C-alpha cells in the first residue's frame, strides 16, 4: 500500500544508517583504546621531557603512584640512586618490616620507572647533590640516611619529627606541602606544631 507522506523530509536512509554504524564503531574503538591505555602508563610517560626547574619533576607513572603511594608518600625516584631502587624492588617482601610485594609485571614496570628517573639518571640539581652525598660503596634504602638529607634537616630536632601531625622523617608531606608534586623547596615548608 502506498501511503503518501506529506511534509516528511526526505532522508537517504541507507546512508544515514551506515553513518550511524560508523559513529558506533569509532566510539567503541576509541573507548576501548581509552580503557586499554589506563592500564599501561609506563614507557611513553617516563620518557617525557623533564623540566629544568629545581623541583624533582614527577613523571607520573600510574602503577608507581598507586602501589608505592598507598602507605606513604610515593617518594620521588630522583631521591635515591638506581642501585638503591633495584635493591628495594628485589626485597619488597622485607620492606621496612612489611611485605610490600606486588605482582611481577607491576614490579618490572615500577622498577623501570624508578631507574629511569633515579638520581643517577635524572638531570635534576637536587638529585645530583643527593647522589654526590652518598658514598659509592653505600646503597641506602632510606632517603633519611643520606648525608644530603641529614645536612638539610640538621636544624630540626628529633622531637619535631615525633610530633603527632608528623610522626617520622619519612612523612615528607607533613612539612613539605609540595612533596606530592616533587617540590621540596625550603620556601614551601610549613612545620606543624
Phi-psi region of 4 (alpha: psi -120 to 50; beta: other; left: phi over 0): beta
The nearer residue to other proteins, 9 or 135, going by C-beta atoms, is 9
20 binds other proteins (CB under 8 A): yes
* Alpha-helical runs (H) found in 55-170: 62-68, 82-89, 104-116, 125-133, 147-152, 158-161
Examine residue 31 and tell whether it contacts other proteins (CB under 8 A).
yes
Nearest to residue 182, comparing CAs of 69, 39, 40?
Answer: 69
User: CB within 8 A of 159, min separation 6: which ones?
Assistant: none
| 189 strand-pairing partners | 176
Examine residue 158 and tell whether it contacts other proteins (CB under 8 A). Answer: no
Closest CA to 145 of 119, 163, 170, 114: 170
Work out which of 1, 34, 49, 158 binds other proteins, going by CB under 8 A: 34
Of 75 and 116, which CB lies nearer to other proteins in the complex structure?
A: 75
Nearer to other proteins (CB atom), residue 38 or residue 157: 38
Q: Is 17 in the site for other proteins (CB under 8 A)?
A: yes
Using CB under 8 A, which residues numbered 60 to 99 contact other proteins? Answer: 70-73, 97-99
Name the one residue in this structure whose C-alpha cell is 623533564: 50
Rounded distance, CA 31 to CA 29, Å? 5
C-alpha of 192 from chain center? 26
Closer residue to other proteins in complex, CB, 123/167: 167
Q: How far is the CB of 51 from other proteins (least distance, A)?
A: 27
Provide, rounded to whole angstroms, the least separation between the CB of residue 56 and other proteins. 19
User: What residues form DSSP beta bridges with 98?
Assistant: 95
How many residues in the shown chain lie near other proteins by CB under 8 A?
A: 28
Q: Which stretch binds other proteins (CB under 8 A): 77-85, 110-118, 160-168, 182-190?
A: 160-168
Residue written as grid cell 602501589: 67
Q: Which of 1, 6, 7, 13 binds other proteins (CB under 8 A)?
A: 13
- Binding stretches for other proteins (CB under 8 A): 11, 13-14, 16-17, 20, 23-24, 27-28, 31, 34-35, 38, 70-73, 97-99, 166-168, 170-171, 173-174
Amino acid at each position: 500500500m502506498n501511503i503518501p507522506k506529506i511534509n516528511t523530509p526526505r532522508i537517504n536512509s541507507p546512508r544515514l544508517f551506515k553513518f550511524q554504524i560508523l559513529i558506533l564503531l569509532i566510539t567503541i574503538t576509541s573507548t576501548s583504546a581509552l580503557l586499554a591505555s589506563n592500564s599501561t602508563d609506563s614507557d611513553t610517560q617516563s620518557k617525557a621531557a623533564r623540566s629544568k626547574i629545581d623541583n624533582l619533576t614527577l613523571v607520573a607513572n600510574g602503577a608507581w603512584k598507586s602501589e608505592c603511594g598507598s602507605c606513604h608518600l610515593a617518594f620521588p625516584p630522583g631521591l635515591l640512586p638506581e642501585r638503591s631502587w633495584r635493591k628495594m624492588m628485589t626485597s619488597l617482601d622485607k620492606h621496612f618490616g612489611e611485605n610490600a610485594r606486588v605482582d611481577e609485571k607491576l614490579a618490572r614496570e615500577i622498577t623501570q620507572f624508578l631507574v629511569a628517573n633515579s638520581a643517577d639518571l635524572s638531570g635534576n640539581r637536587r638529585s645530583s647533590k643527593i647522589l654526590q652525598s652518598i658514598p659509592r660503596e653505600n646503597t641506602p634504602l632510606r632517603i633519611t640516611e643520606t648525608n644530603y638529607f641529614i645536612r638539610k634537616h640538621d636544624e630540626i630536632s628529633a622531637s619535631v619529627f615525633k610530633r603527632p601531625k608528623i610522626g617520622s622523617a619519612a612523612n615528607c608531606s607533613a612539612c613539605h606541602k609540595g612533596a606530592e608534586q616533587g617540590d621540596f623547596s625550603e620556601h614551601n615548608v610549613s612545620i606543624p606544631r
